[in-house]
Amino acid sequence: MTARALAWDGCLNVRDLGGLPTTDGRVTRFGRVVRADNLRRLTADGWRSAVAHGVRTVLDLRFAEECCDDAPVPDGVGVVPISLYGQIDAPYNDELDALVRDAATTEAANGALYAASLGTVRDPIAQAFAAVGDAPEGAVAIHCVVGKDRTGIVTAFVLLAAGVTEAAVADDYALTEGRVGPIVDDWIARARTPEDRRFRERLSTAPRVAMETMLRTLRVEYGGVEAYLRGAGLDDTTFKRTRDRLLA
């Protein structure tokens, strides 16, 4: 059996999206789409591993402000920057942060963030989804900083469109739990107030129920992945390209 977890030096939360079951009995293919934490932390050895795995396109979901110190990527690898949450100072980001702070539990906090994001960043989600299908030959690696929230949302859409079961999507998301401690520990330690520390601690977990909340909201309030993305203007050709990336 091919391993989904990938050991790329410099990153801690990398896995292939192959081997996942679909509702019609198929299985997603390996070497087509990878999800990760910040690939720009890869060492030279890490990049060699990524290129050897077939990565030719990097879909970067970070804020522009998070990309200032990036080193160049290797020759032959293209970068598609799509900030999932737009500008870092956008008013809706304060509103999303408030949902996390005010939720009764950590599980509810993450679920509320993802569910609300569906209504807030629909166009960037659709743009990222389309970018996966539009990429040239080779594997597409999707990443943000931790590989949990922004990456988790976009990969969920890609997997759902390919027919992957909701249970498998939630299981994949939950694999992040426990893998990113060294990434988030320093961020948590730099919190300036107890309230900010609690906020950061909440955002540093990946409870399965959080993804289940988003998937349920997507299905019940938006009619599912296809209706949601068509509402953002995507067409049959785009759906086919992105599905084929994982299945053909």
Three-state SS at 60: strand
How confident is the model at residue 182, as a pLDDT? 86
Q: What is the CA radius of gyration of the chain?
A: 17
User: For 115-166, what is each residue's pLDDT tens digit?
Assistant: 999 999 999 999 999 999 999 999 999 999 999 999 999 999 999 999 999 9
Query: Cβ(66)–Cβ(43) under 8 Å?
Result: no
User: Cα 59–60–63 angle (5° rounding)?
Assistant: 155
Query: Cβ(139)–Cβ(29) under 8 Å?
Result: no
The pairing of beta strand 55-60 with beta strand 139-143: parallel
pLDDT of 242 above 90: yes
Give the distance, in angstroms, between the CA of residue 46 and the centroid of all CA atoms in the same chain: 20
Distance separating alpha carbons of residues 176 and 174, to the nearest angstrom: 5
DSSP E strand boundaries for the chain = 15-16, 33-36, 55-60, 78-81, 139-143
Strand order in the sheet with 33-36: 15-16, 33-36, 139-143, 55-60, 78-81
CATH 3.60.20.10 fits 15-240, yes or no: no
Map out the domains of the chain as residue ranges: 15-240
Give the distance, in angstroms, between the CA of residue 41 and the centroid of all CA atoms in the same chain: 17
Q: What are residue 35's DSSP bridge partners?
A: 15, 142
User: For 192-226, what is each residue's pLDDT tens digit?
Assistant: 999 999 999 999 999 999 999 999 999 999 999 99
Give the number of residues written for the chain: 248
User: Cα 123–128–130 angle (5° rounding)?
Assistant: 95
Residues 170, 172, 176, 177: is their CA dihedral positive or negative? positive
Mean pLDDT over the full length of the chain: 96
The pairing of beta strand 33-36 with beta strand 139-143: parallel
What pLDDT band is residue 1 in, cutting at 50, 70 and 90?
Answer: low
Mean per-residue pLDDT, 10-27: 97
